[in-house]
Amino acid sequence: MTTHANKASIKSAPAKKSRFSFFTEVVAELRKAHWPTRQEALRLSILVLCVCVAVGLVLGAFDWVFTQLFWLLGAK
């Protein structure tokens, strides 16, 4: 005898989807996404470029300082 609680715990297999339903779902999700305007994309790209240049300069300065330090220590 099957009780109501036992029926609720039995799960049926999910419905079989078509092979191409994944792609239609991807397109649907991409349409929901917020896409930046041309101005936003340009502003954020410039920001990324500035941050990359700044980090490059800082790392370059550290490299130069450590190179000079090791050269002085090795020259003695």
6-64, pLDDT tens digit by residue? 555 666 666 677 888 999 999 999 999 999 999 999 999 999 999 999 999 999 999 99
**Sign, Cα dihedral of 30, 34, 40, 43:** negative
Residue 2 lies in a domain: no
| Structural domain total, the chain | 1
Q: With respect to residue 6, please indicate whether it lies within any of the assigned structural domains.
A: no
DSSP string covering the chain: ---HHHHHH--PPPPPPPTTHHHHHHHHHHHHSPPPPHHHHHHHHHHHHHHHHHHHHHHHHHHHHHHHHHHHHHH-
pLDDT of 28: 94
Q: What is the pLDDT of residue 30?
A: 93
Q: Is residue 43 part of a domain?
A: yes
The confidence score (pLDDT) of residue 69 equals 94
Dig out the tokens for 75 from the structure.
């020259």
Query: Whole-model pTM?
Result: 0.57
Identify the pLDDT of residue 19: 80
pLDDT for position 68: 94
Residue span of the structural domain in which 61 resides: 21-75
Please indicate, yes or no, if residue 51 is contained in any of the structural domains: yes
In a domain, 4, yes or no: no
